[in-house]
Amino acid sequence: MPIWWAAEGGVGMWFAFGLITLSVTAWLLFRWRLANRWKGKPGTQDGKSYEYAISQNKGRVVQLRIGIDCATGMHFCLKRENWIDRLFKSLGLSQEQQLNRLHFDERVYVLSDDKRLSYLLRLKSELHAPLSEFFGPGECAGFRIRKLWCRDKRLWIEAKPAKSMKAADCNPQDLAEDVLPVMRELAELLASSASPGSGSPDHFFLKACLLTAISSALAIVAGLQLFRLAIAKFPVVVDNTELMMLSLGVGSFLLLLLLGACVMFLGRTSRMHLVLLELLFIGGFGCVAGVYAELRDYNIDFDSMAARPVEADVIRHYTRRCGKNGRSTCYHVDLAAGGELDRRLSLKLDAATWHRLHAGGTVNLPLHLGALGMRWIDAPEPVPSQGKP
């Protein structure tokens, strides 16, 4: 049974959510470890070895990595500081290690909560200027450095071309000559002062990974639920606006709980705002859309009242091209408001039902009140002409 059908009921939905959360967590951890174990081609600069890897797409350079060995137990990432980083720092939600060096602190954002890093960098003041230049406004051998990583006993940079570059024209040696002297000096500092095995595990990463996995699972399950609802023509919720507003309120409350968990577990750390933004957009969609699907199902499945037959006039009877490249035909009718049906409805029908109807005709709608008081209908049936009053 496909997972979106298994998730149709409440129990199935939460089973699917748990399964997807576990799967996404494992995938994030695997991707994290795999990303840090990239393998490149060997190169030499000043008689010393390094490795590089060129990522390309359609013959164009997407990213260039240049790395060296670094015998240290420290893990961190330096990246270009942007306005989002500065905003969350000013709000006091994220906390970054500072060197009290104007150009470095303005240009570089330190993704690490290991206090040894700022202490060591303060001792090595001659590294402040070249490291800040890595993330300055200018280019470096035709590239702009995005990040400097230190993880799993390796130090490497990730750079993107400043302008479109053919893979055949990419010469890693040019960038290597500019960045490797600084990287080797930093590697020596880390190896001498923070040896492998020192320090403690990055518990903040595990917490961030779990929160991200939960938000991703919510979004995936919500997407599957919406897909299920999109392909099912009936039942149709008449009071859909009211259902959407209720879903927005309940979903926003769940999102606030998720954001609160982020602040509680990651508050005043360097990566808190990065996770918070992902929860806000991905988790926000998952909370609201998932709640909408669950409330809709509850309103229909737990409605114990008998349906009320309501007649409505067909005011428009038409087809549209739909599907991939417009290869399919979709069948639609518009029903006029009147009586207990106080709003105009536009319905998508199957071909057999549509051919039984016609513009100006009358249909019989089974109108249900809904367990939550939000009306819904089953598929319409044509009213025979002799049955009209």
Q: How confident is the model at residue 340 (pLDDT cuts 50, 70, 90)?
A: confident
Gyration radius (Cα) of the chain, Å: 29
Pick from 266, 275, 106, 122: nearest CA to 202: 266
Distance CA 58, CA 319 (A): 41
User: For residues 206 and 42, which has the higher predicted lDDT (pLDDT)?
Assistant: 42
On the question of pLDDT at 17 being above 70, the answer is no
pLDDT at 26 over 80: no
Count of alpha carbons within 13 Å of 302, Cβ hemisphere only? Answer: 12
Which tens digit of pLDDT belongs to each residue from 139-149? 898 999 999 99
pLDDT of residue 344: 92
Instruction: Tell which wins on pLDDT, 95 or 67.
Output: 67
Residue with tokens 């006039």: 313
- pLDDT over 90 (residue 6): no
Beta strands in 152-237 (DSSP E): 154-161, 236-237
